[in-house]
């Protein structure tokens, strides 16, 4: 879930709790439900749909990004804990996917089919992390200059919002 709420807006703390509850704790509950059986069988693959925002925060969506960053950290821990048992863990980091949650976003979007194909390919090839669609280019840029994407993301705020934040 994504409340699309900035840090300083009314309801920000309520949305942050909800985003953490669903995006992080939901993933934790899923891992705890299925991980023990996979460990016991010494096989299986966990796939966690994350977001590129787990790596680069987007202004006015800080708590959503934080919830995805927490989930990213969780799958890294799960990968380490499950690997000795032959269980693989894969994180999927798309940018904006063409779903109901992104209907208000006016930019290029990755199709759900492209994300699904990337997941199937990752499972088949044993990849730990996958960046479908435009996320592959963004990930390469992030590796080259992590702070550059953060600054670029901040520059996309409308001028009126940047002025309000600067005065706060």
Which amino acids are annotated catalytic?
Answer: 64
What region does 58 belong to: left with phi over 0, alpha with psi -120 to 50, or beta?
beta
Give the span between the Cα atoms of 112 and 79, in whole angstroms: 25
Give the span between the Cα atoms of 48 and 35, in whole angstroms: 13
Find the radius of gyration of the CA atoms of the chain.
Answer: 17
In this structure, what DSSP letter does residue 145 have? -
């Amino acid at each position: 879930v994504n409340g699309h709420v900035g840090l300083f807006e009314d309801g920000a703390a309520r949305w942050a709790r909800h985003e953490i509850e669903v995006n992080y704790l939901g993933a934790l509950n899923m891992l705890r439900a299925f991980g023990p059986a996979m460990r016991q069988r010494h096989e299986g693959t966990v796939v966690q749909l994350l977001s590129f925002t787990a790596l680069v925060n987007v202004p006015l969506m800080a708590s959503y990004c934080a919830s995805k960053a927490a989930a990213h950290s969780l799958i890294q821990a799960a990968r380490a804990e499950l690997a000795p048992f032959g269980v693989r863990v894969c994180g999927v980091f798309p940018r904006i996917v063409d779903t109901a949650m992104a209907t208000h976003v006016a930019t290029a979007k990755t199709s759900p089919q492209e994300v699904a194909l990337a997941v199937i390919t990752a499972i088949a090839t044993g990849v730990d992390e996958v960046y479908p669609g435009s996320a592959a280019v963004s990930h390469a840029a992030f590796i080259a200059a992590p702070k550059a994407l953060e600054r670029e993301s901040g520059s996309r705020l409308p001028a009126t919002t940047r002025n309000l934040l600067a005065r706060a």
